[in-house]
Amino acid sequence: MASVELQGVHKSYGSHEVVKACNLRVQEGEFLVVVGPSGCGKSTLLRAIAGLEPLSGGRLLIDGQDMTQADPVARGVAMVFQSYALYPHMTVAENIGFGLKIAGESKDRTAARVQEVAALLRLDGLLQSKPKALSGGQRQRVAIGRALARKPRIFLFDEPLSNLDAGLRAEMRVELARLHHALGNTMIYVTHDQVEAMTLATRMVVMQAGRIEQVGTPLEVFNQPATRFVAGFLGQPAMNFIRVESGPAAPGDGAVQRVGSYIWDTGAGHAGAVPWEAGVRPEDLRCSADQACLDLLIDATEQLGSDTVVHGSLPDGQRLTVRLPGQQPSGVGQRLGLVPDTARTVWFDAAGRNLALQIGVSLDG
């Protein structure tokens, strides 16, 4: 196990800055997931930690030792790539033990380590097979085994499950979680898949355009997103962003936030800040027969079996998505009254920042 610290790290290709002044500390034994859209700089950041990309500035520390200029082999890391990169002419055993062979390890010790790794990854019965005889999940386990055989201090994963179908991805998520629990190694995992990030991470890093937007546990980031981008990136279906109008409910009254006739209770912690948008997740809207509610005109539904996703628009044209429990009738063309869970509403200012985090209080009072 080892800790990793990034101090003002940035990476540029000519005038194009891909990673911008990143500061981050990864604790020993942590499973840190870096998530973000394609092109946000997450894979470049991982390759820089591995030593495959030289930094343009800043420092990289591993266990407190400056490794900014160190060769990849001196860093004690092992990387698993998106492509399995297995040698097709070698058996599973030969692929797993290849790194040890190159390092000059004896045949007996290599064979013993291969058996140990194969048992951990449940590849015992496949050691004499060639990669072409394996499933995608088995090939990925061999690629992980090849990295594991070297006993690295840090594992780096660069979107290792993106080439697998949905069923295999779910299976391999469980395998990776089990592996981390068994080994306790520091793992840094890059993905654009929010499900992988939410289910695997002990902490997660959300990146956008080369910058770190937020760091925290999956539930911290999901429940208290620091920015509008983070809120919209996590969650399926995505969070609704609803523009509100500020004004008095009646002459002489204080300002309230409203959408049409619906007055939105912002709670006692408002502290005078003026929200620009209300963020509400689709599952945090409930049906209501009250007159004072959000009036949704339904134009599409998605039946998911366990629940139903309803799409529509408010009278002012704003789009809204709601997730309803169970199997609901389509209702296309009908109107649906909705009331948001005000305790779970996230308010954003004009710059897209979570107001509760800006003023240091919860807006639900």
Helix (H, G, I), strand (E, B) or coil at 98: helix
Query: What is the Rg, in whole angstroms, of the alpha carbon atoms belonging to the chain?
Result: 25
| pLDDT on residue 237 | 94
| pLDDT on residue 349 | 87
Give the type of residue at 258. R
| pLDDT on residue 166 | 83
| pLDDT on residue 275 | 64
Contact (CB, 8 A) for 171 and 199: no
Contact (CB, 8 A) for 245 and 224: no
CA–CA dist 338, 322 (Å, integer): 9
Contacts of 208 by beta carbon, 8 Å cutoff, 6+ apart: 36, 37, 40, 229, 233
CA–CA dist 177, 199 (Å, integer): 9
Contacts of 349 by beta carbon, 8 Å cutoff, 6+ apart: 273, 274, 275, 276, 355, 358
Bridge partners (DSSP) of residue 157 are 80, 189
| pLDDT on residue 122 | 86
Contacts 24+ apart (CB under 8 A), 60-63: 60/4, 60/5, 60/6, 60/7, 60/9, 61/3, 61/4, 61/5, 61/7, 62/2, 62/3, 62/4, 62/5, 62/153, 62/154, 63/2, 63/3, 63/153
CA–CA dist 212, 195 (Å, integer): 19
| pLDDT on residue 250 | 58
| pLDDT on residue 175 | 86
Task: Supply 212's token pair.
Answer: 């770190």
| pLDDT on residue 151 | 86
Q: Mean pLDDT by 10-residue block, N- to C-terminus, for the chain (365 residues)? A: 93 94 95 95 95 95 95 90 88 92 90 91 91 90 89 91 84 88 92 93 96 96 96 94 76 66 65 72 91 89 94 94 92 92 90 78 39
Helix (H, G, I), strand (E, B) or coil at 44: helix
